[in-house]
């Protein structure tokens, strides 16, 4: 083997070192490809081969010397990992985590994917409720016109109802024909009155015009008066023609003997606002009318908001009679659900001269 000291005598140390480096690269399985700046050497292929031979000899000699003289004295050294360079720390900090692609599962093991919940159905916007009105206090008739612009006629109208019927002109009026049929009814307490809707098929004819009966309702005390005096009750039967005109037949009630026909309704009288009770047997609205069919007539309005005008009123001259207990029973539910009198303002008021 070639002596390392002798080799250094023939080859200068720097050149020998370069050859040793080159030889080390040749000994490695991988090619020398340093990361970072590449240091160029002037070692050609021939010199590198020669250096390899010398490196092998020098390595054997160094190992022998180390084993012989220094192995016993040298302390054991612990393997210490080199600290990462600044560039390595920066690279680690900016490195993105590896993304592991999931392997496809067999069809029977495919995870269940919940179906998307259906979009909630849009809730229709509720229609605005009409202003609450009443018969007394801050919500009474004096305030109706201020509650809503649609109620303006309640204050500004010139043909409002009810009115006093005193001083009517007696004249021969056209016949009033009533054609009502029995029907199954239900009484509803809407907080303002007790009302019964009437099915189609019943009507009244006035001056050659037919008006279908829509419903009837009750008021205590009567809304219209005679010579300034009210009756105990007033039943108003609302009708409408095919052209939309409104006619109201009105019946007064005064204290007297019990009334069997009205008692049919009283037996189903709903006491609470919002309640509805059926009338057990078929009821004919004709039984609400007096036997004398003479009427007082004038043009007025609805007596509740929006106080629409153009309503034809026909009020029976003869009242029906109810027992005081019957009157009191209704008064207990509605102590006062009547609009105050309105000015007649020169309107034509006529009363039929003869009974039909």
Domains and CATH numbers, the chain: 1-31+44-64 (no CATH), 142-352 (3.10.200.10)
**Of residues 288, 275, 108, 118, the one with CA closest to residue 202:** 288
Residue in the structure block whose two tokens are 């005008």: 309
Residue 349: the pLDDT is 98
Collapsed DSSP state (helix, strand, coil) of residue 325? helix
**Of residues 281, 250, 284, the one with CA closest to residue 267:** 281
DSSP 70: I
The ranges of the chain with pLDDT < 70 are: 1-130, 355-356
Per-residue model confidence as pLDDT tens digits over 97-150 = 333 333 343 343 343 344 454 454 444 555 566 678 999 999 999 999 999 999
Per-residue model confidence as pLDDT tens digits over 56-107 = 555 455 445 545 554 444 443 333 333 343 333 343 343 333 333 333 433 4
Q: Which residues pair with 248 in a beta bridge?
A: 238, 313
CA–centroid distance for 150 within its chain: 26
* Cα–Cα dist 225/341, whole Å: 8
Collapsed DSSP state (helix, strand, coil) of residue 173? coil
Q: How many Cβ atoms from other residues are within 10 Å of residue 332's Cβ?
A: 11
Contact (CB, 8 A) for 259 and 320? yes
């Amino acid at each position: 083997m070639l002596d390392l000291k002798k080799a250094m005598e023939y080859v200068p140390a720097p050149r020998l070192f370069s050859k040793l480096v080159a030889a080390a690269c040749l000994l490695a399985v991988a090619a020398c490809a340093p990361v970072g700046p590449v240091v160029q050497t002037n070692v050609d292929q021939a010199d590198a081969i020669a250096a390899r031979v010398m490196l092998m000899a020098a390595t054997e000699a160094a190992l022998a010397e180390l084993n012989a003289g220094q192995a016993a004295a040298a302390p054991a050294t612990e393997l210490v990992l080199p600290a990462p360079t600044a560039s390595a720390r920066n690279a680690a900090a900016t490195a993105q985590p590896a993304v592991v692609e999931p392997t496809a599962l067999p069809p029977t093991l495919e995870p269940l994917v919940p179906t998307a919940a259906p979009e909630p159905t849009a809730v229709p916007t509720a229609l605005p409720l009409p202003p609450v009105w009443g018969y007394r206090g801050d919500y009474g008739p004096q305030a109706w016109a201020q509650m809503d612009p649609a109620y303006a006629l309640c204050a500004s109208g010139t043909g409002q109802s009810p009115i006093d019927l005193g001083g009517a002109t007696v004249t021969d009026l056209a016949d009033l024909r009533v054609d009502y049929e029995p029907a199954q009814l239900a009484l509803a307490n809407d907080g303002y009155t007790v009302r019964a809707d009437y099915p189609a098929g019943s009507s009244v004819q006035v001056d050659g015009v037919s008006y279908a009966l829509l419903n009837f309702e009750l008021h205590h005390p009567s809304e219209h008066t005679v010579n300034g005096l009210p009756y105990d009750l007033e039943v108003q039967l609302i009708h409408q023609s095919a052209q939309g005109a409104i006619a109201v037949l009105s019946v007064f009630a005064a204290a007297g003997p019990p009334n069997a026909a009205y008692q049919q309704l009283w037996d189903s009288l709903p006491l609470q606002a919002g309640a509805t009770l059926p009338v057990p047997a078929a009821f004919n609205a004709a039984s609400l009318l007096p036997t004398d069919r003479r009427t007082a007539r004038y043009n007025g309005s609805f007596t509740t908001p929006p106080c629409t005008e153009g309503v034809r009123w026909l009020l029976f001259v003869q009242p029906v009679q109810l027992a005081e207990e019957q009157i009191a029973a209704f008064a207990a539910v509605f102590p006062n659900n009547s609009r105050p009198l309105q000015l007649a303002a020169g309107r034509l008021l006529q009363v039929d001269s003869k009974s039909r």
